[in-house]
């Protein structure tokens, strides 16, 4: 019998046996006392099985770890599966997590960039091609929320505009309260925060949306940030100015990989002044190694040309 309208493998086999005897979905639902016949129609007409027992879902997993995880989930009883789902809905954030800290600042910066918050899915997630970036976000969001974050890999789906398939590192937590909190957070509060919190937010944003020119190959020294949200770009600009980093903003148009993205205004925040680049390195930096190494080369060249012998420290931000 179904457990609160959730069906087991036994329910599926009972329904299919009756179907072999010539019964239709409506008659089967009445015999088995199901509230509706929609699930039975899916089993009969679309070849599906109950959610936790679907072979198609198992076959869609792209790694041995995911296959084993799905097989373990298939062994769950329906009452236990329902209880787990309920726990995801009521999972509570510690009160200390609602105070603006460096960890929360970094998470917000990432969320406004490459990250994603879904209240409907009860999830805060990040999917990127830089493993160290995903690991840093996982470490930070676990420390901030007190929840265990999932970490897995997947292959980017092929697209007619994308010739190569890249490995994506995906990390996320399941928490409706965390999703709602981050979704509704008033980011203007960041303007009155401490220097360390501002720096953490900007580091998260530039880890997501930042670009550092590959000097000396590119023949230019510049740090850029990109976003289609004008209000967010203005906020980032004001935060940078408060740290004595003076950017300029210009607008271009997207040439996105989807037809709906083409022609949208795209705001570019550019940092090219020597003092600003040095201040960016000293106060913000990157958690992504390749970006940080490029930044170090820019600062090294500025110090060499300017006669400044201060050591950059070759640091990767913690």
For the segment 16-25, what is each residue's pLDDT rounded down to a tens digit?
898 888 888 8
Per the CB < 8 A criterion, the answer to whether 195 and 241 are in contact is: no
Same domain, 252 and 236: yes
Same domain, 30 and 54: yes
Q: Is the pLDDT at 2 greater than 50, yes or no?
A: no
Number of domains in the chain: 3
Q: Find all residues with CB under 8 Å of 314, minimum gap 6, and list them.
A: 296
Q: Is the pLDDT at 48 greater than 90, yes or no?
A: no
Looking up tokens 């953490």 gives 200
Distance CA 119, CA 186 (A): 17
Same domain, 161 and 257: no
**Which one is predicted more confidently, 247 or 8?**
247
Which CATH number characterizes residue 176's domain?
3.10.28.10
Question: What's the token pair of residue 201?
Answer: 């937010």
Does residue 292 belong to any structural domain of this protein? yes
Distance CA 238, CA 164 (A): 37
144 three-class SS: helix
pLDDT at 221: 86
Same domain, 216 and 133: no
The proportion of the chain whose per-residue pLDDT surpasses 70, expressed as a percent, equals: 75
Same domain, 38 and 25: yes
pLDDT tens-digit map of 205-258: 999 999 998 877 667 789 999 998 999 999 999 999 999 999 999 998 765 545
Same domain, 126 and 173: yes
Same domain, 59 and 110: no
pLDDT tens-digit map of 276-306: 999 999 999 999 999 999 999 999 888 887 6
pLDDT at 317: 44
Query: Where among 183, 218, 237 does a domain terminate?
Result: 183
Does residue 211 belong to any structural domain of this protein? yes
Distance CA 50, CA 73 (A): 12
253 phi and psi angles, rounded to 5 deg: -120, 140
Mean pLDDT score across all residues of the chain? 82
Closest by CA to 190, choosing from 182, 198, 199, is 198
Total-model pTM: 0.70
pLDDT at 84: 63
* Domain assignment of residue 296, given as a range: 187-306
Query: Where among 89, 121, 150 does a domain terminate?
Result: 89
Q: Find all residues with CB under 8 Å of 213, minimum gap 6, and list them.
A: 220, 221, 222, 223, 224, 294, 298
Same domain, 199 and 289: yes
Q: How many CB atoms lie within 10 A of CB 185?
A: 18
């Amino acid at each position: 019998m179904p457990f609160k309208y959730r069906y087991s493998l036994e329910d599926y086999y009972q329904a299919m046996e009756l179907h072999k005897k010539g019964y239709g979905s409506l008659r089967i639902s009445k015999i088995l006392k199901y509230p509706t016949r929609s699930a039975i129609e899916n089993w009969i007409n679309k070849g599906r099985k109950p959610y936790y027992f679907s072979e198609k879902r198992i076959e869609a997993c792209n790694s041995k770890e995911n296959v084993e995880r799905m097989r373990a989930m298939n062994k769950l009883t329906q009452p236990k599966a329902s209880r787990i789902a309920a726990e995801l809905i009521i999972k509570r954030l510690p009160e200390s997590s609602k105070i603006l800290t460096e960890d929360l600042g970094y998470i917000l910066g990432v969320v406004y960039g490459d990250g994603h918050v879904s209240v409907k899915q009860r999830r805060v997630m990040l999917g990127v091609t830089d493993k160290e970036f995903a690991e840093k976000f996982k470490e930070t969001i676990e420390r901030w929320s007190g929840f265990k974050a999932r970490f897995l890999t997947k292959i980017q789906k092929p697209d007619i505009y994308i010739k190569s398939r890249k490995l994506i590192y995906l990390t996320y937590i399941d928490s409706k309260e965390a999703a709602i909190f981050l979704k509704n957070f008033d980011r203007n509060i960041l303007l009155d925060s401490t220097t360390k919190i501002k720096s953490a937010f900007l580091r998260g944003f530039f880890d997501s949306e930042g670009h550092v020119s590959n000097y000396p190959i590119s023949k230019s020294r510049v740090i850029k940030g990109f976003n289609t949200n004008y209000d967010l770009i203005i906020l980032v600009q004001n935060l940078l100015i408060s740290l004595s980093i003076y950017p300029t903003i210009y607008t271009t148009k997207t040439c996105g990989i989807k037809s709906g993205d083409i022609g949208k205004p795209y705001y570019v925040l550019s940092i090219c002044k020597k003092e600003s680049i040095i201040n960016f390195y000293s106060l913000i930096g990157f958690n992504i190694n390749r970006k940080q190494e490029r930044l170090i080369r820019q600062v090294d060249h500025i110090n060499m040309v300017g006669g400044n012998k201060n050591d950059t420290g070759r640091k990767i931000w913690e």
